[in-house]
Structure formats: C-alpha cells, structure tokens
Amino acid sequence: MNKELSVIYLILTIIPLFFGCGGGVKEENKNIETESSTSLGHVSNEKYSIDTKESVVTWKGSSLIGSNSHTGYVYISQGELMIENGKLKGGSVEIDMNTIEDKNHGRDNKLVNHLKDPDFFDIKKFPFSKITITKIAYINADNHKVTGNLSIKAITHSVTFPVRMEVKNGVAQANGWLVIDRAKWDVRYKSSKFYDILANQVISDSIEFQVKIIAKK
C-alpha cells in the first residue's frame, strides 16, 4: 500500500459532521443549563439554512506513532439550524462524502481515492453522512455543549462536542471541534482494534474534525 496511505486515520465528516471548535469550553463551569433540542417543526423556532458554499468540515488524520498526518476537507450538501431568541435549539447537517479532498492535492489522487473505497468510507454504498442534534447544554451566551447522533456508513452513535456560536443580523456562525473513534463506525483500515500489525504501520483510530458553519434565515 502506498506509504502515504499508511499515515492517515481520517474521516468525515462527515460529516457531519458537526461543528469545529473556535475555542475551548471548560467542563467545570457550574452554570450549565441543559435542555433537549426542540422539534424542527416547533413554531417558535426559526430555521436557518446552511450556506453550503461558505461552510466546510476540516478533517485531520495521523499515524499512531510519529508526527505524520494528513489534513483535508469535506463539504456539506444540505442542512439547517433551529434558533430561538438567538439560541441554538436543534438542527441537522448532511455531508457529501464524494467531496472528500486532501488539502495539498485536491480530490483526484491515490490518497483520496483510497478514502473513498471500502477500506475507509465506501462512498459508492454510503455517499452521505449525517448528524442530528439531540441535546444542547448552554455554557454561556456563545458557548454550547452539543450532543447529536452521528451516522457514518449507516452506523449511528451519539457524540458530544463544544460549539461556539454567534447570531447576528440574520446570520448564524457556528464553529466546533470533534474527535471520534473511527472504529465505532467500522472504518477498519490499519486499525489496531481489528488487525494485528506492526506498530509503525498502525493508523490512529482518533479522527479530528473542525467544522465551520454559516447559516442564514
């Protein structure tokens, strides 16, 4: 296998997916107010449609040993945020896995083509990933802790991650940071959880996503 492929651990997000972090959120904050997200059809909520041209998910994967890593992007196909009185109440994001690209070499190279095949995301069979918000804890006016159902390769697990959000003049900007264990979504290539391989060949099971979302009324 191409040496370049042995140093990635990726995924999407998907994507979904969801938000990449614009700043750390302290767990010990004592003023957290936890609420379940309201239905997307709740009459008091306003729907903000995600601008797919201005929004992006950045992924980063690396080898388990050493400093080798790869960074790239994957793009949102559609989605919406539900907002009430300037506060995030719910939403969903769909990621087009066909848009996976490497930061340095674009979408048509051996690395990206391998990420699209069954060793990783099998995008012919699973072309989209999705995250749907299920719960929100409000840390302060700008910082939230978001919980959602992340679906990749038709496998769904709950994830929780920090989100920094601002709503102004009919535009919502959300930035989040999420790390997942790819093995939970059956992304097996050179994972020590599935294969007995040499340590210097193992790709980390942790996948990092930074997500920037722009949504408009």
What one-character-per-residue DSSP string does the chain give? --GGGGG------BTB--PPBSS---TT-TT-EEEEPPPTT-TT-EEEEE-TTT-EEEEEEEBSSSS-EEEEEEEEEEEEEEEETTEEEEEEEEEEEEEEEETTTBSSSHHHHHHHSTTTT-TTT--EEEEEEEEEEE-SSSEEEEEEEEEETTEEEEEEEEEEEEEETTEEEEEEEEEEEGGGGT--TT-TTT----GGGPBPSEEEEEEEEEEE-
Domain count within the chain: 1
pTM over the 0.75 mark:
yes
In this structure, are residues 74 and 100 in contact, taking their beta carbons and an 8 Å threshold?
Answer: yes
Distance CA 133, CA 167 (A): 18
> 156 or 15, which is more confident?
156
> Is it the case that residue 196 has pLDDT exceeding 80?
no
Q: What is the mean pLDDT of residues 131-140?
A: 96
Token pair belonging to 139: 């840390």
Q: In the prediction, which pLDDT does 140 show?
A: 92
- Reported as a single tens digit per residue, the pLDDT across 19-68 is 333 333 333 333 434 443 433 344 468 999 999 999 999 999 987 665 67
CATH number at residue 35: 2.40.128.110
In the structure, what pLDDT confidence band is assigned to residue 184 with cuts at 50, 70 and 90? very high
- Reported as a single tens digit per residue, the pLDDT across 71-110 is 999 999 999 999 999 899 999 999 999 999 999 877 878 9
> Is it the case that residue 4 has pLDDT exceeding 60?
no
Report the mean per-residue pLDDT for the chain: 82
Domain membership of residue 211 as a residue range = 3-216
